Each structure stands twice: as structure tokens, then as C-alpha cells.
Chains A and B, each alone.
Chain A
Amino acid sequence: MIGGPKNFALRLVLIAAFLLVWEGFVRLFAIPMFILPTPSNVFLALYRGFASWLYVDHIWITLTETLLGFVLGTTLAFLLGTVIALSRPVEYFLYPFVVMFQAMPKVALAPLIIVWFGLGLASKVVNAALVAFFPLMVNTIVGLRSAEEDKINLMRSLAATRTQIFWMLQLPNAMPYIFAGLEIAMIFALIGAIVAEFVGAQAGLGMLIQSMNFTMDVAGQFSVLLLLSVLGLILNGMVIGVRKRVLFWDASQKFNDEAARKEVA
């Protein structure tokens, strides 16, 4: 079996060895700092960034952009996805637009978004929302349509209204898909915020990376990259935490698949 305390220790040893080899390699070949910094320099940059509160401010800004963009994008995606899933005419007429937008790399819109919404918070939120929008919309549509025929028939046999079928069956049934979409949307929102900051911003971790690039502070850039991956992990962990509470029933959904033998009358 993989896992267990012994292998966990081995993992830590491996990481330590990796950092040591990296440190030794840079020192041995005297690689300049602006090409590849040593791990110790990266950690030093990280420490200085936090000691001066510089990183805290920028983290706060990027986090705000990401979360606002996530909420805005996923709310709209859920609403539009629901309307499309429930109404064939709406689906038919909106489909060309959806396909066009879906095929387009949304980050390519970032320069335009900056022109429309300025260098401040709004443009980052809009860009993050735009990038986060599609994974959830698609999953909402698929999820709401995934209810098995037997379950629909059960609800209908009880003389349930369409509204009741939606709230009591389709929506809870779609939750595994919706949460899978939310997980992707959260990471996408972070990407959207960072890209918008690259294009034009006064603050945020993406802006920080760019300004460090201009001053050839490569150790600083590495430290921000490290921050971003930790931020991504935390954001993803938040969604997973909520999912585990809401979807406690999903892990054992196997039981639903049994006996799908149907008589073809």
C-alpha cells in the first residue's frame, strides 16, 4: 500500500533533496540570480514580502477579484444554464452564441475588458467571471438533464408539477455536476484575475509578477508563484469542503446503477 507514515516521511525527504540539489546546482555553476535563484533566495524574498506587508495587500486584492468574479460568473452561469436546460426554445436560439463563446479562449478578451472596465477592480472581476462562466454553465445543463427516466416517471406518477420535479429531483440530482463545475470555475476565476492583472492593473499578484519581471527580481517572482499555487489550493479546498457537506450522498451513488434492465414494450 502507498501512503502510511513511512512513505510520508520519504516524500518529505524527496522534497528536501530536490531543494538541496537545486541550491547546490545554482551555486556550483554560479548561475546568475536573474536567471535562476536559489531556493534560499526564494524563501528570503517570501519572508521579506510578508514582513513588509507588501504580499498581504496584493494577495487580498487578487483574492477579492477572484472571489467576486467567481460569484458573479457562477451565479449567471447557473441561471442561464438552468433556463437552457429547462427550455428547448431558449436552447435552440442561444446555442450559436454559446458555441461561439465556448470555442473562444476567454483570456483573449482581457485587453478589451481592460479598455471597457478600466484598470481597477471591475475589469478583473469581469474577466474572472467570464472565464469561470462556461465550465459551470455546461455542467449545470448536463446535470439538470441527467435525471434518469425512472426517477422522472416516479415524480410524474405522483402527479408532480414541473416546478416540483425541478426542485425535488432535477436540482439535487444535478449537484454532483454543479460542484464539479464549481471546482473548475474557482481555478478558472483565479486564472482570469491574474491574466487581467497582467494586461493592466495597479495592484494584485499578477501585477506584482510583471513589475518584478521588469526589475529582474526573479527570486521575487518565484515566491509569488509559490503564493499563487497555495492560493489556488486553498480556493479549491474551500469548494471541496462545501461539496463534501452537500454531496455526502454522492460517494455511494453506485446503488442507483443496479438493475437498469428495462422491458422494451
Chain B
Amino acid sequence: MRENATAARDVIAIRHLSKTYSGRGGGVTALDDIDCTVADGEFMSIVGPSGCGKSTLLKILAGLMHASGGQALLNGTPIAGPRKDIGVVFQSPVLFPWRTVLGNVLLPVDVQQLGREKMTQRALDLLTLVGLSGFEHRYPWELSGGMQQRVALVRALIHDPALLLMDEPFGALDALTREAMNVELQRIWMERRKTVVFITHSTSEAVFLGDRVMVMTPRPGKIGDLFAVDLPRPRPLDVMTTEKFGVYVRRIRKSLNAGGGLE
């Protein structure tokens, strides 16, 4: 079991993490005593309904928000604020319209002063990896939604972060584009072997991509069951029609239902 692996091999270790939003009439508990680890190079899917605190968890991991209790460790050091070794992909591409595709990809390079000369070739290589070579001097508004999200993915990878956080990155895309992006993300992940925390509300997306799937239950956000997905990679799209895949999806749905996640 991965849970028993030594702490050194865990890129993320979350210990008794909780988050309470203060408000009128008492606080709202968004996260309650979360405990889990993510191993080096692991693809962890987190699935849960809206309001289960999964975005809060991601914001804490990204250093954008402070936990109320407990802590999250990245490579052994507590995440106390934004860090340079994390890449984030949000639900919308969040591209700057005044920057070209290349300019957007190099944003982390500019912010962290890594030197454009050194990094431009890497940016072009990554753009090629996601099938966007030749688009580097275009502007974001000239691209489709799926292409924009791929630019956002490259931007999150450019500074070679230890951890890639993805917050429903394909939620705004149409179903076909979304499936294509899933295949592509798997391919990129297999090539680069980044540690990924991938948040989604789609059970099939979670199973298709994840080494493990963590189910979160709402109000307060708690960890329900953890499923290790034992399907060979690379997984083709039609793995979704197999019996084994269906079993995973059904078990996860059942777990979501038990937690009051689905009506």
C-alpha cells in the first residue's frame, strides 16, 4: 500500500487539515480533519460534488489560503504561502489577452526571473508536446477553448514544478474536447511523470486519469473512500466501456451517495 510508504517518497503529506470560514452566525467548516498523502509521480484524482471543499483543499495546497488547523507538507516543508515549485491549472484558462501564447507560457519565467533565453526553447518543446507548435505567436483569443486550456497546462509545467494542481481544468469544455484532453493529459503525464492532484466532479474522468481516486463528501468536507485504480496505461478512451472501468465508477458513485454527495 502506498499509504505505508516512507514520508520521503511522499510529495504531499496532508495531516489533520481543517478549514473553517468565519461568518455571521458562526463559522462554516469547509474541510474537516483531512489526512492523506500523494506519492512522487502519482496521479491523484479527487472527486466530489460542488461544495465538498475540494477547491478549498486545492487553494490551501497552492498556498493561496491558510488552513485553520493541521498542515500540508510539500516535499517535507509546510505549505505556508505561494511557492515557486507548484503549477496550477484553473477551471478557466486564465490567459492574459495582451500576451501571445508564448508570452503566456513564459509568465512564470518572468515572475520567477528564470531567464527567458534559457526557457524559450523549453516552452516551444512543451507547446509541441501539447500539439500547439506554430501557435506560439498567436494571441489567446485566436484559439479554441481546448487549445487555451492546453496553453494553461504548458504554463503550469514551464517552471518544472514538483507538483501540478488541477482544479476541474476541463469542466468548461464540451464533452468531446474534454475526452480528447483527458487522453492528452494522460500522455503528457506519462511522459513527464509529474505528481498531479486533479480535482473533478466527473467520476469517469477521475477513474480514467487517476492512479487513485479520493472521494470527498460535503458539509463538512471529509475524505470518504480511497480507490486504487488498477487499469493498465496508457488507457485508451474505450477503456471507459469495459466492465472493470464500470465497476470502479459504480463503486465511487456508491461512495459518493453514501456521503450524501448525490441526490
Among candidates B83, B90, B98, residue contacting A154 with C-beta atoms closer than 8 Å = B90
Among candidates B50, B82, B168, B172, residue contacting A159 with C-beta atoms closer than 8 Å = B82
B92 touches A265 (CB 8 A): no
Q: How far is the CA of A150 from the CA of B88 in the complex (A)?
A: 11
Among candidates B90, B97, B108, residue contacting A255 with C-beta atoms closer than 8 Å = B97
* Contact-size category for B: 35 or more
Q: Tell whether A252 is near chain B: CB-to-CB under 8 Å.
A: yes
Q: Tell whether A109 is near chain B: CB-to-CB under 8 Å.
A: no
Residues of B within 8 A of A259 (CB): 91-92, 145, 171-172
Among candidates B108, B111, B141, B159, residue contacting A252 with C-beta atoms closer than 8 Å = B141
CB distance from B74 to the nearest CB of A (A): 13
Residues of A within 8 A of B190 (CB): none
Residues of B within 8 A of A57 (CB): none
A-B contact pairs, 7 of them (CB 8 A): A153-B62, A164-B111, A168-B96, A252-B141, A255-B140, A259-B92, A265-B52
Q: Tell whether B245 is near chain A: CB-to-CB under 8 Å.
A: no
Take A155-B111, A159-B83 as given contacts and tell me if A260 and B88 are in contact as well, using a CB distance cutoff of 8 Å: no
Which residues of B6-39 are within 8 A (CB) of A? Answer: 30
Take A156-B64, A156-B82, A249-B97 as given contacts and tell me if A168 and B141 are in contact as well, using a CB distance cutoff of 8 Å: no
User: Which residues does A use to contact B, with CB under 8 Å?
Assistant: 148, 150-151, 153-160, 164, 168-169, 172-173, 175, 249-250, 252-256, 258-265
Take A156-B64, A158-B84, A256-B97 as given contacts and tell me if A262 and B111 are in contact as well, using a CB distance cutoff of 8 Å: no
Chain B 94-127, CB-CB to A under 8 Å as 1, else 0, gives: 1111100000000110111000000000000000
Residues of A within 8 A of B71 (CB): none
CB distance from A263 to the nearest CB of B (A): 5
Residues of A within 8 A of B92 (CB): 150, 258-260
Max chain B C-beta neighbours (<10 A), residue from A148, A249, A254, A264: A249
What secondary structure prevails in chain B residues at the interface with A? loop
Residues of A within 8 A of B52 (CB): 265
Q: How far is the CA of A54 from the CA of B82 in the complex (A)?
A: 65
B90 touches A153 (CB 8 A): yes
B53 touches A168 (CB 8 A): no
Max chain A C-beta neighbours (<10 A), residue from B98, B107, B145: B98
Residues of B within 8 A of A158 (CB): 82, 84, 107-108, 111-112, 159
Residues of B within 8 A of A157 (CB): 62-64, 82, 86, 88
Q: How far is the CA of A39 from the CA of B110 in the complex (A)?
A: 61
B172 touches A168 (CB 8 A): no
- Residue of chain B at shortest CB distance from A247: B98
Residues of A within 8 A of B139 (CB): 249, 252
B112 touches A159 (CB 8 A): yes
Q: How far is the CA of A50 from the CA of B98 in the complex (A)?
A: 45
Among candidates B51, B90, B96, B159, residue contacting A172 with C-beta atoms closer than 8 Å = B96
B171 touches A261 (CB 8 A): yes
Q: How far is the CA of A87 from the CA of B159 in the complex (A)?
A: 32
Q: How far is the CA of A265 from the CA of B88 in the complex (A)?
A: 18
Residues of A within 8 A of B202 (CB): none
Residues of A within 8 A of B97 (CB): 249-250, 252-253, 255-256
Among candidates A151, A156, A265, residue contacting B96 with C-beta atoms closer than 8 Å = A151
Residues of A within 8 A of B53 (CB): 265
Among candidates B55, B83, B172, residue contacting A258 with C-beta atoms closer than 8 Å = B172
Q: Tell whether B186 is near chain A: CB-to-CB under 8 Å.
A: no
- Residue of chain A at shortest CB distance from B221: A265
Residues of B within 8 A of A159 (CB): 63, 81-84, 111-112
Q: How far is the CA of A169 from the CA of B104 in the complex (A)?
A: 12
Q: How far is the CA of A265 from the CA of B29 in the complex (A)?
A: 10
CB distance from A254 to the nearest CB of B (A): 7
